[in-house]
């Protein structure tokens, strides 16, 4: 066991990444709950005046507002993957290097096959996490395109009209609705595995990964930080300017 003074606090997730994460999680929760209600509307009996119990309209309204926020938040994260720090960079999300691909196997041995007791120590996400998030980004694009295409016939606004071309590709609105509904469940599956792994990694690695998505900081043994910087994993060496002489190591970037 390393002594606590060997650990260094490293600022990994910048504030925009953390805001993106929690707004995204909130939107997906709101979209999934209201989406499920839209797909399976319960028969609510009410003896009041119909115009006072416009609850289904409110459910749809929340779904559409959350969808617009979801799009804006996603567009912002795309922008941040170009201007943000090395842990936020778009390059990490794609399997571009042999090291990234090899790391997938090392992570799976710990997370899935449980055949190795040596967790992979990285400051950013590990490669499995990065590639999974890339997969969720593709699902996000599909939900945006399909959702706004389904919304277009009931909206005068220009934005949903941009996506009407997708309906003929799926044969009918009903087919597209089925895919939109199925992907909602994929997000549910992703969330269960994601939260489990975040807790599991927090436990086996002891780097404070859970609190990092709230405060931005992780804790790592100094020699592991040096080793990671040397391999260039989970970040792009040289992308960030070197700290000025005499500056504190790992300043918030």
- Catalog residues that contact ligand HEM under the rule CB under 6 A: 17, 20-21, 24-25, 28, 77, 125, 129, 133, 136, 187, 190-191, 194-195, 198, 209-210, 213
User: Of the two residues 21 and 224, which places its CB atom closer to ligand HEM in the complex?
Assistant: 21
Q: Which is nearer to ligand HEM, 86 or 177 (CB)?
A: 86
Residue closer to ligand HEM (CB basis): 164 or 236: 236
| Cβ 22 to ligand HEM shortest distance, Å | 8
CB of 25 to ligand HEM, least distance (A): 4
70: three-class secondary structure by DSSP = helix
Question: What's the token pair of residue 42?
Answer: 């319960």
Task: For residue 196, give every residue at least 6 positions away whose Cβ sits within 8 Å of its Cβ, in sequence order, or none.
Answer: none
Contact between 78 and 93 under an 8 Å Cβ cutoff? The reply is no
CB of 93 to ligand HEM, least distance (A): 8
- The residues near 71 (Cβ < 8 Å, ≥ 6 apart) are 144
Crossing angle for the helix pair 98-111 and 173-205, to the nearest 10 degrees: 80
Q: Give least dist CB 11 to ligand HEM, A.
A: 14
- For ligand HEM, the closer of residues 120 and 152 by Cβ is 120
Rg of the Cα atoms in the chain: 22
Least CB distance to ligand HEM at residue 184 (A):
11
- 22 vs 55, which CB is nearer to ligand HEM? 22
219 has which bridge partners? 9
With beta carbons less than 8 A apart as the criterion, state whether 92 and 124 touch.
yes
């Amino acid at each position: 066991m390393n002594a606590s003074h060997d650990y260094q606090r490293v600022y990994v997730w910048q504030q925009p990444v953390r805001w993106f994460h929690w707004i995204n999680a909130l939107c997906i929760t709101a979209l999934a709950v209201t989406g499920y209600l839209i797909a399976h509307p319960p028969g609510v009996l009410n003896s009041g005046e119909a115009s006072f119990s416009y609850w289904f309209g409110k459910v749809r309204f929340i779904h559409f507002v959350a969808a617009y926020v979801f799009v804006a938040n996603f567009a912002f994260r795309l922008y941040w993957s170009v201007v943000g720090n090395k842990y936020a960079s778009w390059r990490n999300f794609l399997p571009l290097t042999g090291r990234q691909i090899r790391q997938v196997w090392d992570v799976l041995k710990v997370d899935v096959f449980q055949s190795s007791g040596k967790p992979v120590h990285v400051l950013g996400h590990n490669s499995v996490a990065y590639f999974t998030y890339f997969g969720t980004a593709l699902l996000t694009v599909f939900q945006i395109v399909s959702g706004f295409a389904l919304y277009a016939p009931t909206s005068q606004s220009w934005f949903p009209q941009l996506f009407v071309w997708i309906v003929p590709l799926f044969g009918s609105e009903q087919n597209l609705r089925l895919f939109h509904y199925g992907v909602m469940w994929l997000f549910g599956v992703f969330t269960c595995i994601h939260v489990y792994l975040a807790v599991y990694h927090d436990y086996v690695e002891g780097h404070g990964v859970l609190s990092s998505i709230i405060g931005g900081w992780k804790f790592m043994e100094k020699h592991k930080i040096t080793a990671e910087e040397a391999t260039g994993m989970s970040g792009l060496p040289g992308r960030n300017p070197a700290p000025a002489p005499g500056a504190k190591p790992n300043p918030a970037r």
